[in-house]
Amino acid sequence: MNEDLRKAALAVLAGGTAAGAADIISAVGGQKNPLATLQYLASALVGKVAFDGGWLMGGLGLLVHFGLTTIMAGLFVLAARRWTPLLRQTWLMGLLYGAVLYGLMFYIIVPHTAVPVWKTPVGFLANLKGAMLHGFLVGVPIASTSRYFLGMRNAN
């Protein structure tokens, strides 16, 4: 594997892991039943049966979650390798990328999965909060790891 491809793969894996960890900790932190959140994620693939599957479905939910964040990181890395301005302003590009991902996830992708009950966020403030949270917890880690691994460590 050549060096550029190795760096891109590391950026994808590190970005997907960092974003996935930050987002899932935010989602389950402080909850009395974090398993239900993980089962909800699994229900995107298997529907209602996920809620009767215990920790096996919780594990599937984690796989779904980290799989998605890794795909999100991969798309950012692919774009950043072709358009380097994405790596120059990590915070801004990360926030914007995360906000776009939020819109795609909540309004296009999740409604077309097997999730048994889905309600899109209602109101400007709820959507702004969700977009900003997704920007900070998903977009910024992906943009930051991409910048690090793709060689823009000292760029302005």
pTM here? 0.91
Write out pLDDT tens, residues 35-91.
999 999 999 999 999 999 999 999 999 999 999 999 999 999 999 999 989 999 999
Q: How far apart are CA 45 and CA 57, in angstroms?
A: 10
Two structure tokens written together for 153: 């460590």
Q: How far apart are CA 96 and CA 112, in angstroms?
A: 23
- Alpha carbons within 13 A on the beta-carbon side of 68: 22
Write out pLDDT tens, residues 117-131.
888 888 999 999 999
Q: State the pLDDT at residue 59.
A: 97
